[in-house]
Amino acid sequence: MNVYLNLRSLFDVFCIVQGVTTVTWLLLLPKQPANRWLAFLLTGLTLQVVDYFLSRSGVYYHHRWLYFTPLFFSWGFGPLLYGYVQARLAKPTSLRWWHFVPVTMQVLFYTVLMFQPLSTKAWFWLTVHKPYTRYIEHYIGSLLMLYFLYRSWQTLQQTDNRETRLKGLLQAAGLFYVVAAIDPLINSIYLSPQDPKFFLTTQVLPVLVYTVALVGRGYNRFQSDAKKQPAVLVKDEHQEQIQRAIQDDKMYQDPDLTLASLAEHLSLSPNVISRTINVGFGQSFTDYINTYRIAEVKRRLVAGDADQMTILALALDAGFSSKTTFNRVFKEQMGHTPKEYIKRFQIILRDDTNG
């Protein structure tokens, strides 16, 4: 096999090895959803770098039967990244099967082409893929990734976690895909017609693969070190105080409730309140309060209060400050919008009421 190696293709090999070893390592770790999501994302990114290497090293040229081997899964990168962010932040996934329809179509596209005769592949490349479909694929992949990056960033901003590495990853990926979206336009300005139209993308993607691999390894090392630390103890009396204030006194109904105001009410420091909720109840302060608010709305829906009041009125009574926040939190916790929930579970709710 004739393989042409230079610094660029050698760096591709380095990133491929890094990607493969990290994927293997993630899959061998204890089964955690975040590790699985990251392994699948890194697999897709690494396979795309494999395609770049096969092209740059001349393997495709000398083994043309390899043309259109299914190595591009870019339409699935966005959902996989979003799933990873939600799993890493211990959020219930809001992904649905239709989010993976685009990448399924992409896989079928390349699988069908892979088994075509070389003459058909050559004709398709010159008349269809090179001038048209590869640009469609590129722009759809970039837009999907930017959309799910936005959703991932929103999810991250809604938590109390200080995820510095994750923030850096999302920012780097966002910058890369903004550049990728305008890559062909930039290239047409300063590169000759014979040069690759996705020059910047092919140069930077291996670096992104290497970055994702480092973030995955660094996060899991941090988790392992954290598990070695002695457990933080919380007092039962503090948990009971918080539960009484929230559950019995229904302080969750106050839309202006904050960590500081709850601490002042209980004559405890905000740090004690935060630590007790995080460690004792396994939730952030915001998630803990919203759990009671959602439970209150569900209770009143079961009681039939929605027949006399709007759902928004019930949400405001429960302590939510806006319709937008209520709809978002309800869907995160229940997997459905409030209207979908009522429609889907209407019969069950009525049966529970009559029971």
* Overall size of the chain counted in residues: 355
Of residues 270 and 233, which shows the higher confidence score?
A: 270
Tell me: do 256 and 216 sit in the same domain: no
pLDDT interval class at 354 (50, 70, 90): very low
Question: What local confidence, expressed as pLDDT, does residue 114 receive?
Answer: 93
Residue 1 lies in a domain: no
**What average pLDDT score do residues 141-169 get?**
82
Q: 39: buried, middle or exposed (CB in 10 Å: 19+, 13-18, 0-12)? A: buried
The pTM of this model reads 0.64
258, 267 Cβ separation under 8 angstroms: no
What is the per-residue pLDDT for 148?
A: 95
Phi, psi for residue 285 in degrees, rounded to 5: -60, -45
Residue 161 lies in a domain: yes
Same domain, 119 and 12: yes
Assign 214 a pLDDT band (cuts: 50, 70, 90): confident
pLDDT tier for residue 162 given thresholds of 50, 70 and 90: low
Residue 218 lies in a domain: yes
In a domain, 288, yes or no: yes
Spatial contact of 203 and 253, defined as CB atoms under 8 Å apart: no
The answer on 255 and 195 residing in a single domain is no
Question: Does the residue 268 lie in any domain?
Answer: yes
CA torsion 271→273→274→277, rounded to 10°? Answer: 150
**How many Cβ atoms are within 10 Å of 94's Cβ, its own excluded?**
15
CB–CB of 283/243 below 8 Å? no
Q: Residues 51, 128: one domain?
A: yes
* pLDDT for res 218: 64
Residues 300 and 241 placed together within one structural domain of the fold: yes
Q: In whole angstroms, how far apart are CA 217 and each of 16, 302, 324?
A: 15, 46, 36
Two structure tokens written together for 218: 């660094």
In the predicted structure, residue 350 carries a pLDDT above the cut 50: no
Q: Note down the domain range covering 335.
A: 236-354
Q: What is the pLDDT of residues 254-284, one digit of tens each?
A: 999 998 999 999 998 888 888 888 888 888 8
CATH of the domain at 304: 1.10.10.60
DSSP secondary structure string, 197-253? TTHHHHHHHHHHHHHHHHHHHHHHHHHHHHHHSPPPP--HHHHHHHHIIIIIS-GGG
CB atoms within 10 A of CB 19: 24
Q: Are residues 295 and 245 in the same domain?
A: yes
Q: What tokens were used for 188?
A: 């047409």
Q: How far is CA 155 from the centre of its chain?
A: 9
Last residue of a domain, one of 180, 198, 228: 228
**Are residues 55 and 141 located together in one domain of the fold?**
yes
Q: Taking 70 as the threshold, does the pLDDT of residue 3 lie above it?
A: yes
Domain co-membership, 276 together with 212: no
Q: Is the pLDDT assigned to residue 352 strictly greater than 60?
A: no
**How many structural domains are present in the chain?**
2
Question: pLDDT (tens digit, 9 = 90+) per residue, 296-343?
Answer: 988 888 777 777 888 889 899 999 999 889 988 888 887 778 888 777
- 351 confidence band (pLDDT: 50, 70, 90): very low
Higher pLDDT, residue 324 or 1: 324
Average pLDDT value for the chain: 83
pLDDT for residue 43 is more than 80: yes
Domain final residue pick, 228, 256, 284 = 228
Q: Judge whether residue 155 has pLDDT over 70.
A: yes
- 84 and 118 belong to one structural domain: yes
| Domain end residue (candidates: 228, 261, 288) | 228
246 in a structural domain:
yes
How confident is the model over 71-106, as pLDDT tens digits?
A: 999 999 999 999 998 888 777 778 889 999 999 999
Are residues 64 and 159 located together in one domain of the fold? yes
* Residue 355 scores a pLDDT above 70: no
- Indicate whether 327 belongs to any domain: yes
Q: Is the pLDDT of residue 112 over 80?
A: yes
316 inside domain: yes
Confidence of residue 252 (pLDDT cuts 50, 70, 90): very high
Categorize the per-residue pLDDT at 1 as very low, low, confident or very high, splitting at 50, 70 and 90: low
pLDDT value at residue 226: 47
Q: What is the pLDDT of residue 221?
A: 57
Q: Are residues 122 and 200 in the same domain?
A: yes
Percent of the chain with pLDDT over 70: 87
Whole-angstrom Cα distance, residue 114 to residue 116?
6
pLDDT of residue 196: 61
CATH number at residue 113: 1.20.1070
Asked if residue 99 and residue 52 are part of one domain, the reply reads yes
